């Protein structure tokens, strides 16, 4: 028997992926996938996939972001800025940045516009949204996660205090790796970074995998609880792993 779970993180126009067989942890692999369908249809056929991308897209936004974004920021506290507030659905599908800002302001209260950093991930959001609406059966397998929410939980529900980029990136990445190892990921998987995948994207994909594992085991936590739904029935929720004791 094999029970594969997987994690995905957007990486340079593709997806950094990590897969693990929960029944035989010596069986695992990391790869760069061209799209989410390539992972879903891979030979491992993962039961659960944690993916670092917003999934549910409400038509209107109140309070500065989706309920899932607000819940994740509340959980992270001082590190809340790592959660980009997703604008309304129309902004995600706008043809350019200026149009996206206008569409967001028109359907949000109070009005807000996406940052350029947020806008730059919209292509990933559109790709996953399109896939899940075309393949509704995949909704049982694909779940939204946020790496920093996952690491916060793995750190005992406490802020990490170290970034994954910048002058202290080496320390921040080492801390995240240690948390993943403490969560039970095999060292060989932690070291199996795919050529061309940055270290932070590799660790984020592994964090998404940990959440996928907890979802399969029934111990992951939804933010918010209960989850919401958008007009297409897609869940508006960020999943977090169970808080680990430190």
Across the range 203-231, mean pLDDT stands at 97
Per-residue model confidence as pLDDT tens digits over 75-126: 998 765 678 889 999 999 999 999 999 999 999 999 999 999 999 999 999 9
CA 86 to chain centre: 13
pLDDT score for 166: 87
C-alpha to C-alpha distance for 48 and 201, rounded to whole angstroms: 19
List Cα–Cα distances, 225 to 221, 229, 239, 240, in angstroms. 8, 12, 10, 11
DSSP for 216-229, please give it.
Answer: HHT--EEEEEEEEE
pLDDT band at 150 (very low <50, low <70, confident <90, very high): very high
* Per-residue buried b or exposed e for 48-73, using 16+ beta carbons within 10 Å of the residue's own CB: bbbbbbbbbbbeebeeebbbbbbbbb
Which H or E element spans position 236?
A: strand 235-240
* Model confidence, pTM: 0.95
């Amino acid at each position: 028997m094999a029970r594969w779970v997987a994690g995905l993180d957007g990486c340079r126009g593709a997806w950094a992926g990590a897969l693990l067989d929960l029944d035989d942890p010596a069986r695992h692999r990391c790869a760069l996938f061209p799209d989410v369908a390539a992972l879903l249809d891979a030979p491992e056929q993962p039961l659960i996939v944690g993916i670092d991308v917003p999934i549910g897209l409400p038509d209107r936004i109140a309070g500065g972001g989706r309920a899932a974004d607000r819940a994740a920021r509340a959980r992270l506290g001082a590190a809340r800025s790592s959660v980009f507030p997703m604008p309304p659905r129309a902004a995600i599908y706008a043809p350019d940045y200026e149009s996206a800002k206008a569409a967001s302001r028109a359907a949000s209260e109070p009005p807000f516009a996406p940052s350029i950093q947020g806008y730059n991930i919209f292509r990933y959001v559109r790709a996953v949204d399109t896939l899940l609406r075309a393949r509704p059966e995949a909704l049982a397998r694909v779940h939204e996660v946020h790496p920093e929410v996952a690491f916060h939980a793995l750190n005992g529900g406490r802020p990490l205090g170290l970034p994954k980029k910048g002058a202290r990136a080496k320390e921040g990445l080492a801390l995240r790796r240690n948390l993943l190892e403490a969560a039970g990921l095999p060292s060989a998987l932690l070291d199996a970074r795919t050529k061309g995948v940055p270290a932070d994207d590799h660790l984020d994909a592994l964090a998404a995998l940990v959440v996928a594992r907890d979802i399969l085991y029934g111990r992951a936590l939804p933010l918010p609880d209960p989850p919401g739904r958008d007009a297409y029935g897609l869940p508006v929720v960020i999943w977090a792993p169970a808080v680990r004791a430190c």
